[in-house]
Amino acid sequence: MRHATVERNTKETHISATVSLDGTGVYDVKTGIGFLDHMLEQLSRHSLMDLNVRAQGDLHIDFHHTTEDSGYAVGEAVSKALGDRRGIVRYGAAVIPMDETLTRVALDCSNRPYLVWNVGFSRSKLGDMDTELFKEWFQAFAQSAGITLHVENVYGDNNHHIVESCFKGLARALRQAIELDPRQLDAVPSTKGVLGGSL
């Protein structure tokens, strides 16, 4: 199984993240931020990636460091589990409806990190969590996972639905992209023979 654990320790956070890419969507997530836990559980369940996250952060200040650093840790664990990315499909995309909301996600496990985030919110907070922090999580994840990631909320009114559709879209697109392609199990999916660097 493609499996990795990452420890990230700073003066602001202490985070452990373990992923098994070929899992069944089993999760055990405790970040101290209830809404973030719920989103990471969605990521695990809909990608079929097993996920274990433990985070202790400076929540007495705000949720920024814990949110961002959990994105870094989970993304780095995904990258380590992918290794040289040999045999993967590489690309994935999903269109996720959630009641009145529709979100599109497309990604390339290219080892060239980039985020395009076309998502807006009508409220500054969901519960105690600042909605601006969701972009920070996706940016950190894309950066450390080595993924080119495009997230676009096409329309929607309910901010909870908008966020959740983004995470579910990431999950479903990632599930496609990290799948092993039986026709090229021994090949890196690039004409260069390696992923990363210039196009």
Q: What is the mean pLDDT of residues 157-176?
A: 98
User: Of all helices (H) and strands (E), which one includes residue 163?
Assistant: helix 159-177
Q: Among 3-17, 67-81, 171-185, name the one with the lowest average pLDDT.
A: 171-185
Per-residue confidence at 184, pLDDT binned at 50, 70, 90?
A: confident
pLDDT tens readout for residues 137-148: 999 999 999 999
**The pLDDT value given to residue 137:** 98
Better pLDDT: 27 or 193: 27
Whether the Cβ atoms of residue 37 and residue 167 lie closer than 8 Å to each other: no
Q: What b/e string do you get for 97-129 counting C-beta neighbours within 10 Å, with b at 16 or more?
A: ebeebbbbbbbbbbbebebebebebeeeebeeb
pLDDT at 31 exceeding the cut of 90: yes
Per-residue confidence at 20, pLDDT binned at 50, 70, 90?
A: very high
R_g (Cα) of the chain, nearest Å: 16
Write out the two tokens for 71. Answer: 């994105």
Domain range list for the chain: 3-177
pLDDT tens readout for residues 64-78: 999 999 999 999 999
Rounded-to-integer distance, Cα 112 and Cα 44, Å: 23
Residue 197 buriedness (CB in 10 A; 0-12 / 13-18 / 19+): exposed
Q: 3-177 falls under which CATH superfamily?
A: Imidazole glycerol phosphate dehydratase; domain 1 (3.30.230.40)
Hey, how many other C-beta atoms are within 10 angstroms of the C-beta on 175?
A: 18
3 state DSSP class of 68: helix
Rounded-to-integer distance, Cα 162 and Cα 47, Å: 18
**The pLDDT value given to residue 195:** 66
pLDDT at 193 exceeding the cut of 90: no
- Residue 61 CB partners (closer than 8 Å, separation 6+): none
Percent of the chain that is helix, strand, coil (3-state, to 5) = 35, 30, 35
What mean pLDDT value characterizes the chain?
Answer: 94
Per-residue confidence at 127, pLDDT binned at 50, 70, 90?
A: confident
**What percentage of the chain has pLDDT greater than the value 90?**
88
